[in-house]
Amino acid sequence: MATKEEDVKLLGFWASPFSRRVEMALKLKGVSYEYLEQDIFNKSALLLELNPVFKKVPVLVHKGKILAESHLILEYIDQTWKNNPILPQDPYEKAMARFWAKFVDEQVGPVCFKSVVKADKGIDVAIEEAQELITFLEKELSGKDFFGGKTIGFLDMVAGSMIPFCVARAWEGMGIDMIPEEKFPELNRWIKNLNDIEIVRECIPQREKQIEHMMKVAERIKLA
């Protein structure tokens, strides 16, 4: 278990799924950290200094070492604090967890949010394309409590922070039931399992506030 002497700081943004997943990992590991909220629309000198390449959150600082990009941060946390493993130990399972995490952030997130907001080919087509991607995750969860099995892990943190606690809030604001229980029973069961975990609940943005934020982001996307 970590102590305050570990000197851990996290630069994040309350509505960012990328920040929220890192907080989940730190809490799971029992790491004491200082959270520094950032204004992503008016970036601080500290954020620009610590992450001059991408200029984004999250940024983790541990004993003077600076790390950016949430997947890399999660792996660093897992390798630094060995209790409550996040990534699978089996090499193949670990590779597949990374594969699906990349799929969530690079495919599911953009298509299920930006493409649905813009709906260039019509909203029905956008929803169909989004649900086709979500179906892959539904199949991955078949017969499992979490993506990694019985306990929350790397992919649960990535997909959980992105889908039910971020993008789904946008769908709700747009009046879209994207993952109905009759069509996606495994995903809905998984979401309920996530909500049963205290550290996850501690990291979930307040629902109404998140919906309001996502609607503002959607307006920016429409005008872009």
Residues 101 and 154 sit within 8 Å (Cβ to Cβ): yes
Residues 30 and 83 sit within 8 Å (Cβ to Cβ): yes
Q: What is the DSSP letter of 63?
A: T
The CA-based dihedral angle spanning residues 108, 18, 149, 87, taken in that order and rounded to the nearest 10 degrees:
120
Last residue of a domain, one of 58, 80, 102: 80
The per-residue pLDDT for 224 is: 80
What domain count does the chain have? 2
**Mean of all residue pLDDT scores within the chain:** 95
For position 68, which CATH number holds? 3.40.30.10
Residues 20 and 161 sit within 8 Å (Cβ to Cβ): yes
The per-residue pLDDT for 148 is: 85
Q: Is residue 63 part of a domain?
A: yes
68: three-class secondary structure by DSSP? strand
32 shares its domain with 109: no
Last residue of a domain, one of 52, 80, 108: 80
The per-residue pLDDT for 145 is: 97
The per-residue pLDDT for 1 is: 44
26 shares its domain with 48: yes
**Residue-wise pLDDT tens digits, 102-151:** 999 999 999 999 999 999 989 999 999 999 999 999 999 999 999 989 99
132 shares its domain with 30: no
121 shares its domain with 205: yes
Last residue of a domain, one of 20, 51, 80: 80
The DSSP H or E segment spanning 12 is strand 8-12
Q: What is the pTM of this model?
A: 0.95
Give the structural domain span for 64. Answer: 8-80
The per-residue pLDDT for 35 is: 98
The per-residue pLDDT for 196 is: 97
Q: Is residue 198 part of a domain?
A: yes
124 shares its domain with 60: no
The per-residue pLDDT for 127 is: 95
Which parts of the chain sit beneath pLDDT 50?
1-3
